[in-house]
Structure 1
Amino acid sequence: MRHNQRRVRRGNYYRNGDFRQQNQPYCKRCVQHRYSGAYDNRQSYGQKIRVEQSKSDCFGRGEGFIGIQQKLMFLESIGDPSDLKKLDIKQLPALCDELRKELIQTVEQNGGHLASNLGVVELTVALHYVFDIRDKIIWDVGHQSYVHKLLTGRFKDFSTLRKKDGLSGFPDITESQYDAFGTGHASTAISAGLGLAKARDIKHDDFSVVCVVGDGALTGGLSYEGLNSIDGTNMLIVFNDNDMSIGKNVGSATKNLSRVRVRKGYLKFKSGLEKTVGKIPLIGKPIVKFLKSIKRAVKLSCLRNIYFENFDIKYVGPVKGHDVKELVSYLKSIKENVKKPTVLHVITKKGFGLPEAEENPALYHSLACKTDNSQINMSEIVGRELLNLGEDERVVAVSAAMTQGVGLKGFAEKYPERFFDVGIAESHAVTFCAGLAAGGFKPFFAVYSTFMQRAYDQILHDVAVQKLNVTMLIDHAGFVGEDGQTHQGLFDIAALLPVPGMTLLAPADDVELKQMLAFAYLYGEPLAIRYPAKICRSFGAEFRFGVWRRMNEISSDIALLAVGGRCLDAALDAAEILASQSIAAEVYNCSTLKPFDEDCLKALESKRLVITLEEGVKKGGFGEAVAARLRKPVCIGLGVDDKFVRHATVEQQLEENGLTAGNIAGIVKSNLF
């Protein structure tokens, strides 16, 4: 092995809730401790692991991100969960090793959610080992379902994860019978699982319903609405407690949940006791085994937790989430003996098995595909500009569990008293901002477009009706690529255009975005700015409120109206293609979507052909609104038809929906001749 090898001291090694196995090879720079694999043909859980490693294995994302060329002895043999049940329980830890290897290698190549999946390997194996094919397992949020996919017949296709026409990065009921319910947003699993359980009971059917819910999801109000309605329904809620959502969890709910967790002193004492007693000759190990059985019996029958018992739900735990054998034991006992709503509290560590991910789980929450690093990060632009605006003590920034993702980490560090991460609670965030505005502050709420959808009533009722000074920074607007249909930012234009008193802006580049943020600071009324995560080029566009600026000097009876930088880029390229064929076309940057540029609309009446381009649904969108205002010219709207857009690259999604220069030029020519 290239790096310096060490062995973990005998006995369990406890670090931040991480229970490692005994006497396993440990390399400080390698991917894992016990998961970095053997450096000889050692015995591992009764099976030999063959390892071949070369310098080319270090492929990655900084020191320590390496691949292990290791034969997948167990994973390749699992065609569906019934094959998993054929394994001896002693072989499950080795299967977990293989799963982690496959996760790291595939996510390195395809991008995706790494830390959350590394944290649920043992839990997922245990669930499928205990529960049957007919049972329903629902994954809240769903980004942690990669291991579930690997164990349910999708191993051979796993290399297509998040690729066009390949496996989705989230549960998808059209993809597999084992995906009981499609998810993508947080806090939905309990309500969905309750619905499945009620349907089962009405039909007098017989299967188990299991909802895997993270502590981050319990910062969302929908989870509590589901808990409040359970009313004795037999279902299992696996509380995956890693003290994280995407970033560090926040709020009183999280503090209350933390009181449920085992204290670190107790964990150290228990680990030390097991180590000491286990060394007693002959009788040590049997005593430890007996004490563990007593502990499980006590947790199953005696331990109480007021937090969940307020909902009349039985509580079991906490349980070590990286001990697959212990998880199997608890799950079997609950399945066979408990016939009421139950919470199994499982302590896991996000990123477990990859030191970099363990130490910085927010960074490794979602890894992007290998892309052009020259792209302009719009979230970072927002963060830097808000830092400058934050010199005014009336400026407040709000995030919904996405602080780093929306670029607000710097603001949070510099102005902690005026930064609020409200958790996965977008509805609350909007009304909270409304209250701040009513109190004389200037709140900026940064949120992904797909998550903004969860707060539509609050935007209408609490912000717009009262004409309050709230600015919504709608990140990841338009096509988002590999995250797919549950995360596309394609509905915000159609949702916000009809809202009375709402102003909607869409910058073409970083220059306009900066100017729009300065405008928002002074504006004083409800305002939304939509922008993609990244753009490829800067146009040097100067923002003028309410003006659709012409971007070329050509005079023509053909007009291309573009919304956002990617559409503007395509429109300008289309104009060049047409110019090479002696066809002139004017190109407009429509950066103010509401209100319309009335002067430009009047000028467009004299045109022969008007084509609008937007990264959004056509129904109710910008193009439809423009067409409704124009009487004479032929008006064609390009955007997304009445469908959900599945995962692919952004470029593929643009092409699929006709937003490319070649297609635009073709439409112009077909309507002229």
Structure 2
Amino acid sequence: MTSRPETPLLDHVDVPADLRKLRPEQLRQLSDEVRADMIDAVSQTGGHLGAGLGVVELSVALHYIFNTPEDRLIWDVGHQAYPHKILTGRREQMRTIRQGGGISGFTKRSESEYDPFGAAHSSTSISSALGFAVANKLSGNPGKGIAVIGDGAMSAGMAYEAMNNAQQAGNRLIVILNDNDMSIAPPVGGLSAYLARAVSSSEYLGLRSLAKRVTKKLHRRVHSAAAKAEEYARGMATGGTLFEELGFYYVGPIDGHNLDHLIPVLENVRDSEQGPILVHVVTKKGHGYAPAEASADKYHGVTKFDVISGEMAPKTKGPPSYQNVFGETLAKLAETDGRICAITAAMPSGTGVDKFAKAHPDRAFDVGIAEQHGVTFAAGLAAQGMRPFAAIYSTFLQRAYDQVVHDVCIQNLPVRFAIDRAGLVGADGATHAGSFDLTYLATLPNMIVMSPADEAELVHMTYTAAEYDDGPIAFRYPRGNGTGIDLPDTPIRLEIGKGRVVREGNKVAILSLGTRLHEAMKAADELDAKGLSTTVADLRFVKPLDEQLIRRLATTHDIVVTVEEAAIGGLGAHVLTLASDTGLLDAGLKIRTMRLPDVFQDHDDPAKQYREAELDAEAIVKKVLEALRHNDLGVERGVRA
């Protein structure tokens, strides 16, 4: 363990008001101290590091120049907001970040008044900042809405939709484009820094305003031509024509790590009567920490690590992750099927599509943070005879629901949805939990929905989806590693809508969907020990249900319990509907459904989350015993003969 870094300036900065008491020449040292403190904190907890390292100076400059929290500073996605958290009263809590009971890894309204808008999904900052800006304009409040967007978030259409609508905010809206992957304009240097200061200065803006007034007095065509000439001349010099066309006054690019450049530009922007304004800031992800700068992913997401060497704690060897099982299986299937394609939305390594892309680069497509486009693109591929797999996190597929309905299901196109991060996801918390996919997919006509109990079943379902050409099909699987079961050498094509019995009994029937099967088997052991012979079925499909299997178990057991790692509206709801429609409930059958609770669960260790959700073996046993009204001795009361 290394000792905590010395931070004499930062020790006196608890909130931005303290920061604004410093002299400009002290800000460089403060930035260095924030960076050192953040590295030390994340080394102990893990989390997102690279994005935050890239915006240390920008965070300091924004809080120094703007009157936060009255000026609403909104960080897109939120994982770049670690320096912001340090500067806004949460420095000591940083060593609890993403831990149970600790602060969130993203911005969160309930956590601080300096987090005016929660963000963990991408590309929402400009829309929300526009809302704050217009609200202030309408109510006469002086505050501005400031959106910091970057790290790929500008690849999403929502950002441009907001910009296209932004003119009504006037000078109350400021967008900071944190360009940390590649510069949109030519490399920054002394000339571009000078241009940025010049075009944001009050003198230039005053002359521009005067010129507009003069040309408006002239013929309309003269005014229009002059405006275009000025706009394109400035666009050619600075690279901002696109943003000008969307109605923004463009300033930049400027070096986001040079406070001598940042401070005067932000001062000019703050005091400008022009608006809305976009400031193009070029930063380097991982900046200021050599191991991050040298890493291919700039230490985007890290486990605990040694600050001096940058070496991360070794990962314990264990079963392969579900995402890698999917990616490797799909790559192998594509060796003999040239129609198989893979689409991901800025998450190639997170979904296993990187494995596929390495083997079949011409058939792998990363569409950026554009899930809507990705789904409809997949629909087009399917309509032309390809076999596309849209590999998207459950929480992000929510963003493309209309495309799933309208472009895929109504047209009955065979798009295969490989849905990663289903269920609870641990440290990323409620914003990334895959709680709702069963509900929002299993209601759709033409859709087939599967969920594997383990990694071997995932192999079979990937193959089944590849071979299914009669319409859309989805399979959802969790984050993390599998169970350790041997993977099949040859995948099996599963019969659509057919489950399997993995344990036979005659008193209690547990209908499991997905990876809670292991907990269901443990619960069956405990129930058997109490004299309650238990059947466990892995249904595999929530749509269509295996009606024959469910009816058989329902009519030969005293109680049926459904178990799923999803919100209300999934397996349990469909089984209850089946029981109602077929008269099983009239026969006195006891049915209990177990699912995720109707709350957004905070980040924590996944095992703790499932225990809190009452979806572990202990909770299953408790549910059965309560339903059968057992006393402490385990003697049954009122159980059907």
Q: Structure 2-normalised TM-score?
A: 0.85
C-alpha contact (below 8 Å) 1:96/1:122 kept by paired residues: yes
In structure 2, distance between residues paired with 1:514 and 1:571:
22
C-alpha contact (below 8 Å) 2:196/2:252 kept by paired residues: no
Q: Could you tell me which residue of structure 2 aligns to residue 601 of structure 1? A: 550
Q: Indicate yes or no: 2:510 matched with 1:560.
A: yes
Q: Could you tell me which residue of structure 1 aligns to residue 241 of structure 2? A: 306
Q: Could you tell me which residue of structure 1 aligns to residue 362 of structure 2? A: 417
Alignment of 1:482-561 (within 5 A): 482-524=427-469, 525-538=471-484, 545-552=496-503, 554-561=504-511
1:419 shift after superposition? 1.5
1:190 shift after superposition? 0.8
| 3-state SS, counterpart of residue 624 of structure 1 | helix
Q: Could you tell me which residue of structure 2 aligns to residue 92 of structure 1? A: 27
Letter in 1 for 2:333: L
Cα RMSD (Å): 2.1
In structure 2, distance between residues paired with 1:75 and 1:561:
56
Change over 3 Å in CA distance of 1:388–1:375 after alignment to 2: closer
The one-character-per-residue Cα deviations of 1:563-621 (angstroms, maximum 9, x if unpaired) are: 212x1111111112222333222111121121101111211322211111111112x12
| 3-state SS, counterpart of residue 566 of structure 2 | strand
Q: What percentage of aligned pairs have identical amino acids?
A: 39
Alignment of 1:43-442 (within 5 A): 56-57=1-2, 69-133=4-68, 134-214=70-150, 216-233=152-169, 234=171, 235-243=173-181, 258=183, 260-263=184-187, 267=189, 270=190, 296-298=197-199, 300=201, 301=204, 303-304=234-235, 305-362=240-297, 364-368=299-303, 372-391=316-335, 392-442=337-387
In structure 2, distance between residues paired with 1:346 and 1:458:
34
Alignment of 1:607-626 (within 5 A): 607-618=557-568, 620-626=569-575
In structure 1, distance between residues paired with 2:541 and 2:196:
64
In structure 1, distance between residues paired with 2:195 and 2:390:
50
Q: Indicate yes or no: 2:551 matched with 1:627.
A: no
| 3-state SS, counterpart of residue 397 of structure 1 | strand
Q: Indicate yes or no: 2:518 matched with 1:569.
A: yes
| 3-state SS, counterpart of residue 545 of structure 2 | coil
In structure 2, distance between residues paired with 1:362 and 1:325:
28
Change over 3 Å in CA distance of 1:295–1:190 after alignment to 2: closer
Letter in 2 for 1:643: V
Change over 3 Å in CA distance of 1:292–1:402 after alignment to 2: closer
1:84 shift after superposition? 1.0
| 3-state SS, counterpart of residue 351 of structure 2 | coil
C-alpha contact (below 8 Å) 2:465/2:473 kept by paired residues: yes
C-alpha contact (below 8 Å) 2:76/2:149 kept by paired residues: yes
In structure 2, distance between residues paired with 1:582 and 1:294:
81
In structure 2, distance between residues paired with 1:548 and 1:540:
20
The one-character-per-residue Cα deviations of 1:353-390 (angstroms, maximum 9, x if unpaired) are: 22332233537222246775424301111111121122
The one-character-per-residue Cα deviations of 1:320-375 (angstroms, maximum 9, x if unpaired) are: 01113321221111102344100110000111122332233537222246775424
In structure 2, distance between residues paired with 1:504 and 1:404:
24
In structure 1, distance between residues paired with 2:260 and 2:618:
58
In structure 2, distance between residues paired with 1:344 and 1:140:
15
Letter in 1 for 2:596: V
Letter in 2 for 1:239: L
C-alpha contact (below 8 Å) 1:211/1:237 kept by paired residues: yes
Q: Could you tell me which residue of structure 1 aligns to residue 634 of structure 2? A: none
In structure 2, distance between residues paired with 1:514 and 1:361:
30
| 3-state SS, counterpart of residue 312 of structure 1 | coil
Q: Structure 1-normalised TM-score?
A: 0.81
Of 446, 452, 455, which residue of structure 1 is paired with 2:391?
446
C-alpha contact (below 8 Å) 2:382/2:413 kept by paired residues: yes
C-alpha contact (below 8 Å) 2:134/2:168 kept by paired residues: no
How many residues were matched structurally?
568
C-alpha contact (below 8 Å) 2:507/2:532 kept by paired residues: no
In structure 1, distance between residues paired with 2:195 and 2:393:
48
Give unmatched runs, 5+ long, in structure 2.
206-233, 305-312, 580-584, 631-641
| 3-state SS, counterpart of residue 231 of structure 1 | helix
> Which segment is superposed worse, 194-203 or 661-670?
661-670
In structure 1, distance between residues paired with 2:419 and 2:390:
8
Q: Could you tell me which residue of structure 2 aligns to residue 587 of structure 1? A: 536
Q: Indicate yes or no: 2:601 matched with 1:666.
A: no
The one-character-per-residue Cα deviations of 1:251-293 (angstroms, maximum 9, x if unpaired) are: xxxxxxx5x4223xx74xx59xxxxxxxxxxxxxxxxxxx976
In structure 2, distance between residues paired with 1:571 and 1:76:
51
C-alpha contact (below 8 Å) 2:341/2:387 kept by paired residues: yes
Letter in 2 for 1:586: T
> Which segment is superposed worse, 323-332 or 507-516?
323-332
In structure 2, distance between residues paired with 1:470 and 1:292:
48
1:405 shift after superposition? 1.3
In structure 2, distance between residues paired with 1:213 and 1:385:
36
By percentage of residues, which structure has more helix? 2
> Which segment is superposed worse, 393-402 or 350-359?
350-359
Give unmatched runs, 5+ long, in structure 1.
1-55, 58-67, 245-257, 272-290
In structure 2, distance between residues paired with 1:582 and 1:372:
39
Q: Could you tell me which residue of structure 1 aligns to residue 639 of structure 2? A: none
| 3-state SS, counterpart of residue 353 of structure 1 | coil
Q: Could you tell me which residue of structure 1 aligns to residue 225 of structure 2? A: none
Letter in 2 for 1:591: R
1:163 shift after superposition? 1.3
Letter in 2 for 1:378: Y
In structure 1, distance between residues paired with 2:624 and 2:193:
74
Alignment of 1:650-665 (within 5 A): 650-665=606-621
